[in-house]
Amino acid sequence: MHILVLGGTVFLSRTVAETACDAGHQVTCAARGVSGNPPDGVEFVQVDRDQPDGLAELGAADFDAIVDVEVQSPTRVRRALDALGAKAGHWTYVSSGSVYADEETTGQDAAGAPVVPPPPKGSDETDRELYGPFKVACEEAVREVVGDKAFICRAGLIVGPRDVSDRFGYWPARLAGGGEVLVPGAPDDLVQYVDVRDLAQWIVHSAQNRVVGTLDAVAAPRRWGAVIEAMATAVGAPDLALTWVPGPWLAEQGVAPWAGPDSLPLWLPLPAYAGLMSRDVSASLDAGLTTRSTEEIATAALDWERVLGLDRDRRSGITREREAELLTAWRAAA
């Protein structure tokens, strides 16, 4: 197959290009080329999706499959659909679990779950507060133009090599550091994520097998305690000791959930966000999504953390000093 990846220079889109190339496909990556380099073995075409005719360099070629990872701009998505929709045998659009309207109910699947409305006309396409609504608008554009050949995969947390969000990687890095580790929430809480290589594999598989429809792109939910134990087995230091601290107490101390400065990744307030980490993904697994073990994911994520530098200032996570303060305060409170 000849696959066009709109992107191909950073994280998921680059991994899709690499995976497709390794599977023997002819791959073209199209991006500005300012954020990174495409993998070896692909053709690179410089394009700028912010320009009305920015995809013209792609010429008149047909593609067996096109993969679009546009974050939230319906304008960019429509431009790609207008320029390339008729020339594509299959179209993947990477959406997000942020489209869902009900973040609390557990066990929902992609088929039945309601989504938020698209943003009001004229909204700013760069407004990150409107990420979910804009993803809905992007999905709608894809269904409208190439609906009969569209695979829309709604990703949850994407983790693994080349992730620059500093979220999942906090845990393997911290466990490898050893000593007393503060773990938020409770061992029975559910968490959900997908390794970037598994998602890339599924996207290529779906292009090959003409999978169409809208499906969630995360592994089945796992118990948070089992995840931490598996990561500790794979990458933990010998002197590791876990101290579980309840989420509501951490929130009172100003620790942020999920991402950002002074946060604890993978932790979400419950029950308010329980629905985001407990999705029923049977249909995705039936449609060819395969998922690797947490041990394997943690090992690769730690390797990538080492490339980034374990002592760097993180975009997400807490510092060792902050963790020690919190542990002391928790012991005093408890």
Ligand X SMILES: NC(=O)c1ccc[n+]([C@@H]2O[C@H](COP(=O)([O-])OP(=O)(O)OC[C@H]3O[C@@H](n4cnc5c(N)ncnc54)[C@H](OP(=O)(O)O)[C@@H]3O)[C@@H](O)[C@H]2O)c1
Chain residues in the site for ligand X (CB under 6 A): 7-14, 31-35, 47-50, 69-71, 94, 96, 155, 157-158, 165
In whole angstroms, how close is the CB of 143 to ligand X at the nearest point? 16
* Shortest CB 34 distance to ligand X, Å: 4
Query: Are residues 78 and 62 in contact, defined by beta-carbon separation less than 8 angstroms?
Result: no
Q: How many CA atoms lie within 13 A of 48 on its CB side?
A: 4
User: Angle at Cα 332 formed by Cα 266 and Cα 178, nearest 5°?
Assistant: 45
**Phi (first) and psi of residue 87, to 5 degrees:** -100, 5
The secondary structure of 46-80 as a DSSP string is E--TTSTTTTGGGTT--BSEEEE---S-HHHHHHH
Would you say 53 or 252 has its CB closer to ligand X? 53
Chain length of the chain: 334
Nearer to ligand X, 157 or 264 (CB): 157
Q: How far is the CB of 85 from ligand X (least distance, A)?
A: 17
The tokens describing 110, both together, are 């992609």
Measured from the CB atom, the residue of 132 and 236 that comes closer to ligand X is 132
Amino acid at 296: E
Minimum Å gap between C-beta 216 and ligand X is: 10
Q: Which is nearer to ligand X, 69 or 142 (CB)?
A: 69
* Minimum CB–partner distance for residue 89 and ligand X (Å): 21
Nearer to ligand X, 71 or 310 (CB): 71
Asked if 110 and 152 touch (Cβ cutoff 8 Å), the reply is no
